[in-house]
Amino acid sequence: MDERVRQDFTEFVTARSAELLRLAYVLTADQYAAEDLLQNSLIKAAAHWGRIHSSPEAYVRRIMYREQVSQWRWHARRPETAMAQVPEPPEPDQAGTVEARLTLKDALLALPPRKRAVLVLRYLEDLPEAQVASILGCSVGTVRSQTYKAIAQLKATLPTLGLSSTEVRP
């Protein structure tokens, strides 16, 4: 019995881990954090694998979103920034040139985890607000305000893109 469940789990992970890692990467924007997020989520899923009857993929994805949000809470309590490179002293502001190089992708990667998670669920997975709220374990109002703030932040960094925050209000 356990052996059959194990085989099922192994097959699922082998078949889906590439796709799941892509989600982890969009959520964390960091290769190592993405691998950690996926592995921790798979560990949690493995503990209950025999009892998942509907869609295992949806189950794992939900764990990943929740983990990411709880990590966000953890970081809020004890702030620590993971940096890809050794931190450099801040350079004098070269507003014009920096702004010109910024792309929407960079702006998205600079968003805090929770805001990005909301945008991923709303626009990449194209889910209705109620379902986003249920996945993240928060209220619909929080989903709305996070979406609004995230887009306002994108708009602030990218005035040229014409991202109007009123336009995307539901």
Partner 1 sequence: MNAPERLIADALREIAAEAPAARPMAAAAWQTGRRRRWRGVAAAVTAGAGAIAAVIALTLAVTDSPAGPASRPPIVAVVPVSLSAPIQFRQVASISTHACPAGSSGLPGPAAASAGNPNPPGVVCYKFTGKRMTVTALKSAAMVHQPGGGYSLDITFLPGDTARFAALTRELAGQPTPQCQLAVIVGGRVLSAPTVDVPVAQGQAQIVGFTSRAQVEQLLGRG
Applying CB under 8 A, the residues found at the interface with partner 1 are 2, 6, 9-10, 12-14, 17-18, 20-26, 29-36, 38-40, 42-49, 78-87, 103-105, 108-109, 119-120, 122-124, 126, 151, 154, 161-164, 167-168
Q: Which is nearer to partner 1, 44 or 149 (CB)?
A: 44
**Angle (nearest 5°) at CA 83 between 77 and 84:** 150
Q: Which is nearer to partner 1, 94 or 169 (CB)?
A: 169
Instruction: Identify the residue whose tokens are 């950690």.
Output: 36
In the complex, least distance from residue 71 CB atom to partner 1, rounded to whole angstroms: 11
Instruction: Identify the residue whose tokens are 């983990």.
Output: 67
In the complex, least distance from residue 82 CB atom to partner 1, rounded to whole angstroms: 4
Q: How far apart are the first and last CA of the chain?
A: 48
Within 8 A by CB and 6+ apart from 106, the residues are none
In the complex, least distance from residue 12 CB atom to partner 1, rounded to whole angstroms: 8
Q: Which is nearer to partner 1, 46 or 138 (CB)?
A: 46
Q: Which is nearer to partner 1, 78 or 94 (CB)?
A: 78
Do 64 and 38 meet the contact criterion of CB atoms below 8 Å apart? yes
In the complex, least distance from residue 138 CB atom to partner 1, rounded to whole angstroms: 20
Do 114 and 72 meet the contact criterion of CB atoms below 8 Å apart? yes
In the complex, least distance from residue 102 CB atom to partner 1, rounded to whole angstroms: 12
Grouping H, G, I as helix, E, B as strand and the rest as coil, residue 88 is coil
Cα–Cα dist 30/32, whole Å: 6
